[in-house]
Chain A
Amino acid sequence: MTDTVTGAGMPTLLGARGYPAALEWIARRAETFVIPLAALIVGMALFSLFIALVGKSPVLLYETMWRGGFGSWFSIQNSLSRAAPLLLAALCVALPARLGLVVIGGEGAIVLGGVGAAAIGVALSGAPSFIVILAMGVAGMAAGGIWIGAVGALRHYRAVNETISSLLMAYIAIALMNQLVEGPLRDPASLNKPSTQPLADIYRIGNIPGMDVHWGLVVGVVACILSWVVIEKTRWGFAARIAGGNVRAAQVQGLAVGPLIVGFTALAGGFAGLAGMLEVAAVQGSANASLAAGYGYTGILVAFLARHNPLAIIPVAILLGGIDASGGLIQRRMDLPDATVLVLQGMIFIVILFSETLYGRFKAFNPDLWKRPDLSRGTA
């Protein structure tokens, strides 16, 4: 917008409004950190009120939450393990969001990614382990990518609302998984909990050395960084951001909006499918109903909390992974239902969405509205 004014003989360290450039730079960027953080704190404060109203101690609750989520090396590892699928599930929301789409059916892609990976893993048993694991990853990504890519295609070519269709497809995916796991893919030995045949140990994904956290965490972090690079530093990401801002403008510019939408939604679904593959290869060892554990839904909250910025997803996913991980301890220590965590998540979600209305309202974050300092005294 405005370059640093140098012609008037002012030092170049001053910004457009005559304040130190660094201060103006920080002020412009602070908004996207301060508002979500404040919303998070307000959400937690409201939740304290709720907990006090049902007759429990909010102090004890947050203390327990801290202990269960981050208080010890054991709990930190537990939180990180839960963060791994959340990273990928959140990308399934954040990437389409940059195109202006609200996709909330990541759970379906996770489930099908897991089933696809398990089927390939069993089918290829006997092959070298790195080939099988790679094939499982590809299968998981393909299954999830096709599922969410179809949502994007329906949106663009048939104008079918993506929010509703993605959630319907999630229900269909879960039904499909149940059908496959109880039917053609069922391991006859799995009696109480129908599952696919267990993967051989050599096809399982192990832990990061020195930690009780599987490699999925690294995969998730890398996926977030890659997504950030694609959105911020490539032509496609630039085109996506234009299309997300205004589809007509993008079409006038000659951008192929259709392939862009299908490509981004397919990539998003691919990441969610990868989360399903990791759950199978690193945690469950086979595909079963545990795949629909709600990561897809918590991922929606992670993405909104991170304002659909892939880099911000990393800390937010770890935070919510911690909250998730503390659920069991809260239940045991405080005699609260396991849905306590859901209530907290819901409250934070609502406050975060409400905080959208605050952007651009504070003068402190917008140097363009600052009063010019009295330069006649300063530079004389």
Chain B
Amino acid sequence: MDATEVGLWGVPLAILGGAIRVSTPFIFVSLGEAITERSGRINLGLEGTLVFGAMAAYAVAVMTNSPWLGLIAAAGAGLCFGLFHGWICKFPKVNDIAIGIALMLFGSGLAFFFGKPFIKPKAPNLPAIPFGGWSDIPQVQAALDVNVLFLIGAVLSVILWWAFRNTRAGLIVRVVGDSSDAARAMGLDPDTVRLLATGVGGALAGIGGAYLSLYYPGSWTERISSGQGLMAVALVIFARWNPLGCFAAALLFGGAGALGPALQSVGVTQGYYLFYAAPYILTLIIMIATSSPTRSLAGAPGELSITK
């Protein structure tokens, strides 16, 4: 059975499958960034964390032959990067955005440094669940081959959405993000809360990286991430710091990212590079549409430097 048999239906099908496949790193990075930003800091370094997480996961998976140990390694490495960002930003006059840029370069540099020997070997992949088994059409099967991390990400976004509203920890993060002074008056230490929030955010970004190298595209190269970590930061703003919004926006971005390959699969090769740029253009358009010079963003944490 070949592509012509599903005809043009192949495009939306490939976009759907692509959205599920491509969106997973967006989900994890944006959920992580949402936690960090809700606490009042912005970590642009998640791009570097994503790349390092991808490398760490792949390297450990190659050495231990277990993708799950790779995943844990990526989360651990991400946690370290996040904690480092959280620690260094507590010093006065240290700019969280600039530190994020530095960590973006540093994380990628370290990943390339240690990742060199792992470009060739093959690592075991994270498992996927074939939800498309009911269909005989390979395109449908391919589109509905859903990785476990996607499902975990979906559940996590619901849990986080609930936790921000209903748990003590969620409330503490929100108070610290809205006003350092109010938090101090309640006896909370904003620096500690932000340290932990940035650490958790880093760990989630590391998991996003593990997905890249251990499932899709499923190998470690120096070009593994093309700004997904950064787009996820923009996506959080679009999602208004709401974890459910992050999940939806990640799906949208995943679909946009799958547009180029989907069109190519049905033979549209004109403007391939422009379709490849679709997620960036979409991000930019969304940022322009949702920002305003006259009113502050609805739902924005008050301490966030990006909205001040």
Contact = CB atoms under 8 A, between A and B. Distances in A.
Nearest to A164: B234
Nearest to A341: B109
Interface string A338-380: 1110110111011001101101000000000000000000000
B105 A349 contact: yes
Given A104-B101, A156-B293, A343-B109, A171 B227 contact: yes
Given A102-B97, A346-B110, A178 B233 contact: no
A49 B154 CA distance: 42
Contacts of A300: 101, 105
A272 interface: no
A175 B122 CA distance: 30
Contacts of B108: 342
Interface residues of B, number: 46
Contact of A339 (B112, B226, B291, B306): B112
A336 B116 CA distance: 10
22 contacts: A102-B95, A158-B288, A158-B291, A161-B287, A161-B291, A161-B306, A164-B233, A165-B287, A179-B273, A297-B105, A300-B101, A339-B113, A342-B113, A343-B113, A346-B102, A346-B103, A346-B109, A350-B88, A350-B99, A350-B103, A350-B106, A356-B94
Q: How large is the interface on A (under 10, 10 to 19, 20 to 34, 35 or more residues)?
A: 35 or more
A182 interface: yes
Contacts of A182: 273
Contacts of A102: 95, 97-98, 101
Interface string B202-242: 00000000000000000000000011001101100100000
A159 B88 contact: no
Interface string A114-149: 000000000000000000000000000000000000
B94 to A, nearest CB: 5
A274 interface: no
Interface in A54-81: none
Contact of B288 (A160, A172, A353, A356): A160
B93 A357 contact: yes
A164 B113 contact: no
Contact of B105 (A161, A168, A345): A345
B137 interface: no
B280 interface: yes
Nearest to A179: B273
Contacts of B158: none
B66 interface: no
A175 B272 CA distance: 9
Contact of B274 (A175, A347, A354): A175
Contact of B273 (A175, A346, A350, A356): A175
B261 to A, nearest CB: 14
Interface of B: 44, 88, 91-95, 97-99, 101-103, 105-113, 116, 226-227, 230-231, 233-234, 237, 271-274, 276-277, 280-281, 283-284, 287-288, 291-293, 306
A172 B93 contact: no
Contacts of A336: 113
A344 B44 CA distance: 20
Given A102-B98, A163-B44, A337-B116, 17 more contacts: A158-B291, A159-B291, A160-B291, A161-B234, A164-B230, A164-B234, A164-B287, A168-B230, A172-B277, A175-B276, A337-B113, A345-B105, A346-B106, A350-B106, A353-B99, A357-B93, A359-B93
Contacts of A345: 105, 109
Contacts of B99: 350, 353
Contact of A158 (B95, B107, B292): B292
A353 B98 contact: yes
A68 B56 CA distance: 31
Nearest to B231: A168
Contact of B281 (A172, A304, A338, A349): A172
Closest 7 CB pairs of A and B: A346-B106, A342-B109, A339-B112, A175-B277, A349-B102, A179-B273, A357-B91
Given A169-B284, A172-B281, A353 B113 contact: no
B106 A349 contact: yes
Contacts, number: 130
Contacts of A350: 88, 99, 102-103, 106
A353 B277 CA distance: 32
Contact of A175 (B88, B103, B280): B280
Interface-centre pick from A104, A182, A304 (highest chain B CB count, 10 A): A104
Contacts of B91: 354, 357
A223 interface: no
A338 B281 CA distance: 32
Interface in A171-223: 171-172, 175-176, 178-179, 182
Contacts of A337: 112-113, 116
Given A175-B277, A350-B99, A353-B94, A343 B106 contact: yes
Given A167-B227, A339-B112, A346-B105, A179 B271 contact: yes
Contacts of A44: none
Contacts of A104: 101
Interface-centre pick from B91, B101, B230 (highest chain A CB count, 10 A): B101
Contacts of A339: 109-113, 116
A297 to B, nearest CB: 6
B105 A342 contact: yes
Contacts of B231: 168
Interface in A61-114: 102, 104
Contact of A340 (B107, B113, B273, B293): B113
Nearest to A337: B116
B96 to A, nearest CB: 10
Nearest to B277: A175
Nearest to B237: A161
Given A165-B284, A168-B234, A353 B102 contact: yes
A163 B97 contact: yes
A182 B306 CA distance: 37
A154 interface: yes
B226 to A, nearest CB: 7
Contact of A168 (B94, B106, B280): B280
Nearest to A104: B101
Contacts of A357: 91-94
